[in-house]
């Protein structure tokens, strides 16, 4: 069920964005920005973020809180790159809690345009090591999210957002749907 919900969210993002771009075609900017080199520090979009959310693993394990930090930038418009480290604890079959720490390198495509929420949205993919009690595995996570500026249209120095990702791991450890709120500071 979690895989179906994640797939539906990932598919609906581009569909909504494409519909919005058709409706807003004649206005200020495209929903799908043209690829170009970064010209200044503002376009570089360097940021530091804190994520707090819920990790919902497949199977009989219950949902648990997840805490993470992210550091990223935009090397080329409209693509972003970031590194995220997050941790959570799971109950297991032996009635003990096991810690899972994930370090993901994430690549994103950032939307633009004038449509609310869509203009601050992104789709992406993360990959990296997942540290478990009994070893290290590879994790791959399709993701989507948005970051809306808190101080208005002219000041993008802080944002509040949301991220949803589905973490696939290459072990018997359960895959997880992770949803989190994101507070970011943009340099």
In tens, the pLDDT along 2-12 reads 454 454 445 45
Predicted structure pTM score: 0.79
Question: Which of 15-19, 94-98, 139-143 shows the lowest per-residue confidence on average (mean pLDDT)?
Answer: 15-19
In tens, the pLDDT along 96-141 reads 677 899 999 999 999 988 888 899 999 999 999 999 888 899 999 9
Domain positions in the chain are 2-186
Q: Please check whether residue 54 is in contact with residue 97, taking contact to mean a CB–CB distance below 8 angstroms.
A: no
How far is the C-alpha of 31 from the C-alpha of 182, rounded, in Å?
Answer: 22
- The pLDDT-based confidence of 65 (bands split at 50, 70, 90) is very high
167's enclosing H/E stretch is strand 158-169
CATH number for 2-186 (one of 2.10.77.10, 3.40.50.10860, 3.40.50.300, 2.40.160.20): it is 2.40.160.20
Q: What pLDDT, on a 0 to 100 scale, did the predictor assign at position 171? A: 82
């Amino acid at each position: 069920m979690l895989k179906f919900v994640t797939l539906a969210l990932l598919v609906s993002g581009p569909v909504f964005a494409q519909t919005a771009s058709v409706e807003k075609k004649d206005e200020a900017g495209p929903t799908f920005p043209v690829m170009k080199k970064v010209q200044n520090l503002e376009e570089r979009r360097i940021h530091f973020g804190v994520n707090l959310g819920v990790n919902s693993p497949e199977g009989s394990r219950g949902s648990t809180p997840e805490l993470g930090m992210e550091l990223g930038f935009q090397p080329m418009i409209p693509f972003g790159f970031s590194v995220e480290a997050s941790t959570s604890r799971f109950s297991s079959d032996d009635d003990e809690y096991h810690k899972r720490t994930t370090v993901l390198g994430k690549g994103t495509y950032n939307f633009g345009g004038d449509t609310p929420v869509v203009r601050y949205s992104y789709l992406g993919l993360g990959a990296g090591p997942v540290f478990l009690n009994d070893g290290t595995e590879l994790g791959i996570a399709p993701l989507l999210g948005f970051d809306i500026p808190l101080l208005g249209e002219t000041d993008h120095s802080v944002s509040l957002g949301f991220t949803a990702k589905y973490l696939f791991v290459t072990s018997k450890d359960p895959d997880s749907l992770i949803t989190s709120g994101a507070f970011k500071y943009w340099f």
